[in-house]
Amino acid sequence: MIGWLYRAADAVRRRSRPDNHGRLGEDAAHRYLRRHGCTIVSRNYRPRTGCGEIDIVVWHGPRLAFVEVKTRTSEEFGAPERAVDVEKQAALRRAARDYVRRASVDWDHTRFDIVSVVLEKPVRIEWLKDAFR
């Protein structure tokens, strides 16, 4: 039942904002992670300080994963995951530390993942677990 609701919401967003590639990629990544055994905890988490945003927070087994979703319409200018540079990683770490502190989770039980989405026909999704420390 819940899967049907997610698909319906995604279809409405695709029709109302067909040019919002980032949101389409996050929706695709959300469905992909759920299909692969993750429990979605949060989407678009922003700490009160405003330092960064975490696209998706999931439990994958015993680990809390902070997932950065990168979406491109093609790989003409390189793979999407290459856009997660050192500055982006630092912003993700700051936001993740805030989340961990608020949720009372041990930092040693966390990791950073990247989900790379290419919006071609068919859509290609690659999940890079423990992409950086």
Domain that holds residue 40: 2-132
**Residue 18: pLDDT above 60?**
no
Do strands 124-132 and 54-60 pair parallel, antiparallel, or not at all (unpaired)?
unpaired
Alpha carbons 56 and 46: distance in angstroms, whole number: 11
pTM of the model: 0.84
**Residue 11: pLDDT above 70?**
no
- Give the model's pLDDT for residue 29: 96
pLDDT, tens digit (0-9, with 9 covering 90-100), for 23-49: 899 999 999 999 999 999 999 999 988
Alpha carbons 53 and 47: distance in angstroms, whole number: 7
Q: Are 104 and 9 contacting, i.e. CB atoms less than 8 angstroms apart?
A: no
Kindly report the CATH number assigned to the domain that includes residue 18: 3.40.1350.10
The string over 9-29, giving b where at least 16 C-beta atoms fall within 10 Å of a residue's C-beta and e elsewhere, is ebeeeeeeeeeeeebbbbbbb
pLDDT, tens digit (0-9, with 9 covering 90-100), for 85-124: 999 999 999 999 999 999 999 999 999 999 999 998 899 9
How many domains does the chain contain in total? 1
Alpha carbons 80 and 77: distance in angstroms, whole number: 9
Q: Are 112 and 96 contacting, i.e. CB atoms less than 8 angstroms apart?
A: yes
Structure tokens of 77? Answer: 């200018």
